[in-house]
């Protein structure tokens, strides 16, 4: 393909990626080194009460924002370097947590960033093998049923993935809150009242279950499509040679689906590490928070209308770094497979 023709094909995509991905990313990176805040000044007022012989006067001082000519509050921007990152990572608090007088991991998890990081990593790394495993088992099971029932079964398996994540999370939460169907069933089974949403560990298990239930259909449809391309001659040769189902799965099917497994893992890692819908849908902020929710919370205006944009930008960059670290092993594997096929 000529360079000019290639440029016509990839040019629009490169332009849009630069405009909507690269430029905002650079902007967030730059903002993480600057802090912008409103300018305030003190105003002293004097009030006097009427009196017969002598007035009683008092002075009070209050802080008000400085307004510009257009009536908009003035702001100042200062370069703080790594200050926003230090305010998130709190190296002094981490050092104190692991000192002789500290409580180690317990004190570390009292810091918002590390509490969010712990849940985000757990959520990502626990759901990854479950999504791949359930997706693979479902695809293998459906591939062995009769053709007449495959269509309805595929539609049924894909239903969770069709639902909007936040709607699915809210629906599942309503099943377990108050007099929900699952809440009543659980209370009857345990013969006592158990509020699953009031405990951090049970709420976390419920969110893990929801993510697997929601994302496994995506893995299923990818693996099912891959199973349709398995070489029938190789499978028949394995059967003739006496290979069992487990051996055919291990030496024929899984190697054939390895690129798809890597693809599903890449997509899931990028998506799960940015977990946000479950935090909002299950209202878990009091027990569990994620890095993405922490960034959102920093952008919510406080009582004076200020937003911690610098710290939110730093949180976004740290989240991006975490995603890249998790993706490096899979990207290296995909690159080696590409070189091997080349």
Residues 251-262 as b/e (b if ≥16 CB within 10 A, e otherwise) read ebbeebbeebbb
Widest Cα–Cα separation across the chain: 116
Q: Is residue 39 part of a domain?
A: no
Does residue 38 belong to any structural domain of this protein?
A: no
User: pLDDT tens for residues 141-189?
Assistant: 998 888 888 888 888 888 888 888 899 999 888 888 877 788 888 778 8
Strands of the chain, DSSP E: 34-38, 40-49, 56-65, 75-79
198 within 8 A of 186, measured Cβ to Cβ: no
pLDDT in the model for residue 126 = 96
Token representation of residue 283: 């209202």
Residue 175 belongs to some domain of the structure: yes
298 falls within a domain: yes
Tens-digit pLDDT profile for residues 32-73: 999 887 777 777 777 777 766 676 777 777 777 777 777 777
Predicted local distance difference test score (pLDDT) of residue 235 = 85
Write the CATH number for 192. Answer: 1.10.3720.10
Q: Mean pLDDT per 10-residue run, the chain (342 residues)?
A: 78 88 91 84 76 72 77 80 92 89 87 94 95 94 85 87 88 84 81 81 93 93 92 85 86 90 93 92 91 92 79 93 91 80 60
Is residue 82 domain-resident?
A: no
Supply the pLDDT for residue 212: 95
What is the rounded CA–CA span in Å between residue 314 and residue 29?
7
Instruction: Return the pLDDT at 180.
Output: 79
pTM (predicted TM-score):
0.84
Structurally, the chain folds into a number of domains equal to: 1
pLDDT at 3: 77
Q: What pLDDT does 74 receive?
A: 77
Closest CA to 112 of 289, 284, 282: 289
Domain that holds residue 248: 112-341
Question: Does 64 map to a domain?
Answer: no
Residue 67 is assigned to a structural domain of this protein: no
- At 45 the three-state DSSP class reads strand
User: Does the residue 85 lie in any domain?
Assistant: no
pLDDT on residue 194: 76
Contact status, residue 326 vs residue 156, Cβ threshold 8 Å: no
């Amino acid at each position: 393909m000529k360079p000019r023709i290639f440029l016509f094909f990839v040019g629009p995509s490169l332009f849009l990626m630069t405009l909507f991905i690269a430029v905002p990313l650079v902007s967030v990176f730059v903002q993480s080194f600057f802090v912008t805040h409103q300018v305030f000044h003190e105003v002293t007022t004097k009030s006097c009460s009427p009196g017969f012989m002598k007035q009683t006067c008092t002075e009070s001082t209050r802080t008000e924002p400085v307004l510009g000519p257009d009536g908009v509050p003035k702001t100042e921007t200062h370069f703080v370097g790594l200050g926003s990152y230090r305010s998130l990572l709190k190296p002094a608090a981490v050092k104190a947590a692991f000192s002789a007088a500290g409580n180690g991991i317990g004190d570390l998890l009292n810091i918002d960033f590390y509490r969010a990081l712990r849940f985000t990593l757990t959520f990502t790394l626990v759901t990854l093998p479950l999504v791949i495993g359930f997706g693979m088992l479902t695809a293998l099971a459906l591939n062995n049923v009769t053709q007449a029932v495959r269509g309805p079964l595929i539609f049924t398996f894909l239903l969770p993935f069709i639902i909007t994540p936040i709607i699915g999370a809210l629906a599942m939460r309503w099943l377990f809150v108050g007099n929900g169907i699952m809440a009543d069933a659980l209370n009857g089974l345990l013969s006592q009242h158990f509020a699953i949403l009031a405990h951090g560990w049970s709420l976390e298990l419920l969110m893990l279950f929801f993510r697997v239930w929601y994302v496994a259909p995506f893995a299923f449809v990818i693996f099912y499509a891959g199973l349709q391309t398995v070489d029938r001659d190789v499978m028949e040769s394995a059967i003739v040679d006496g290979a069992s189902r487990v051996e055919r799965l291990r030496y024929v099917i899984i190697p054939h689906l390895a690129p798809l497994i890597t693809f599903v893992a890449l997509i899931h890692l990028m998506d799960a590490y940015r977990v946000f819908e479950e935090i909002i849908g299950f209202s878990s902020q009091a027990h569990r928070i994620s890095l993405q929710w922490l960034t959102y919370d920093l952008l919510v205006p406080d009582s004076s209308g200020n937003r911690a944009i610098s710290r939110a930008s730093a949180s976004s960059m740290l989240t991006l770094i975490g995603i890249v670290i998790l993706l490096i092993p899979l990207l290296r594997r995909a690159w080696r497979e590409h070189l091997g096929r080349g």
